Amino acid sequence: MKNVLLLQQKIVPEIIELLIKRYKILKCIYYNQPVGRRALSQELDLGERVVRTEVNFLKDQGLIEIYSTGMTVTKDGEYILESLEEMIHEISGLTEVENKLKKILGVHKVIVVPGNIDEDITVLKEMGRLAANYIKTLLTNNSIIALTGGSSVSQVVENFPKLSKSNVLVVPARGGMGRNVETQASTLAAKLANKIGANYKLLHVPDNLSQEALETMLNEPGIKDVVESISRADILIFGIGRADEMSRRRGLEEDKIDELLSKGAVAEAFGYYFNKQGEIVYNTPTIGLDFNDVSSIKHIIAVAGGKNKAEAIVATKINNPNMVIVTDEAAAKEILSFYK
């Protein structure tokens, strides 16, 4: 396949460009269905005339249906999207990028999605889908899944297929954060458990508690039971944030944020802040996953994309050969630029 693609790119490059354009349009419809032409045009930053022409072609091929409520992808369209994944990867040179990153970062696997999350929101949805498909293959009897909150992990949960895993337990990796209840760890844990037919436990504990309050809560039987389950997790799903953004989102005071940044903090994950060397410079006082437990977790899946997250992704690699990173093309190529 690779040789055929190289020949096509040399002789008829316009065919490859057209293929990628139609693939992006079909994918955008899939993730936003039902969607109208105007909304699709804005989402893809394409002229309405171009969108109309391509949409009519996709309909004639039986890949989409057009209703008064908007366009939807047919079963044949879904099959085409799935079948084109590997080809688009080859065309974009992402298989080689994945292999280079895997070696540089010393992790088990890197999954790179074409595109830039900052320019196309469907890239985040695609990251969530591929992460979910990978995690599905890891589930075994008595698996315990711990997950953090955030928009990236939320997309993993949203794109998880319906399963029946009554012998699996899902737990939040840590207490709540911020005002957005929909993307907090406990909310996502319950949602994932319901999607896969698993059991779940919740941890309703806010960030930034005093040490005295933390110790009091840890003595509560219900809290203690959840924390013990978290420590036995064999699958961890988490997002990666920039230290400057996450410290404010977690409600740290300005003097603490200044202190963090002066210590070189560039990344945040499950309440821990890392410098460029991957060293912990601070952790948010809360109840949940202890960093000392992370090294013993069998499967660790980090989901993060965007060029501005590249430095954070590198800083958060936790020297665990079982770690899998799901990211986008923009972040992946920015990381590679650090090692030229």
Return the higher-pLDDT residue of 3 and 67: 67
The answer on 78 and 142 residing in a single domain is no
Q: Can you tell me the mean pLDDT for 174-181?
A: 65
Is 291 found in the same domain as 190?
A: yes
* Domain end (from 91, 107, 124): 91
Q: Residue 39 has what pLDDT?
A: 92
pTM here is: 0.88
If asked whether residues 71 and 85 sit together in one domain, one would say yes
pLDDT in tens, 38-85: 999 988 888 999 999 999 999 999 999 999 999 999 999 999 998 888
Average pLDDT over residues 196-201: 94
* Mean pLDDT of all residues belonging to the chain: 88
102: confidence class by pLDDT, cuts 50, 70, 90: very high
CATH number for position 50? 1.10.10.10
The pLDDT of residue 74 = 96
Mean pLDDT in residue range 17-43: 91
| Token pair listed for 28 | 């955008």
Work out the average pLDDT over 164-180. Answer: 80
Q: Do 107 and 76 sit in the same domain of this protein? A: no
Among residues 250, 245, 249, the alpha carbon closest in space to that of 261 is found at: 245
pLDDT of residue 317: 75
Helices (H), 107-253: 121-136, 151-158, 185-196, 211-218, 221-231, 243-249
* For range 234-254, the mean pLDDT: 89
Q: Are residues 204 and 241 in the same domain?
A: yes
Range of the domain at 282: 93-338
| pLDDT over 90 (residue 234) | yes
Q: Is the pLDDT of residue 88 over 60?
A: yes
Predicted confidence band of residue 2 (pLDDT cuts 50, 70, 90): low
Same domain? 77 vs 191: no
Lowest mean pLDDT among 128-137, 154-163, 170-179, 277-286: 170-179
167 and 61 inside one domain: no
- Give the end of a domain, one of 60, 91, 122: 91
Whether 75 and 151 share a structural domain? no
What does the pLDDT read at residue 240?
94
Q: Is the same domain home to 129 and 17?
A: no
190 shares its domain with 294: yes
pLDDT at position 180, please? 65
Nearby residues of 251 by Cβ (< 8 Å), 6 or more positions away: 178, 207, 208
Virtual torsion, Cα 284, 285, 286, 290, nearest 10 deg: 80
Q: Are 182 and 154 in contact (CB under 8 A)?
A: yes
Q: What is the pLDDT, as a whole number, of residue 319?
A: 60
Q: How many structural domains are present in the chain?
A: 2
Task: Place 183 in a pLDDT band, splitting at 50, 70 and 90.
Answer: confident
Q: Do residue 27 and residue 150 come from a single domain?
A: no
Q: Which of 27, 60, 91 delimits the end of a domain?
A: 91
Query: What Å distances lie between residue 10 and 6, 14, 22, CA to CA?
Result: 6, 10, 20
Q: Tell me, what CATH number does 233's domain have?
A: 3.40.50.1360
- Say whether both 176 and 32 belong to one domain: no
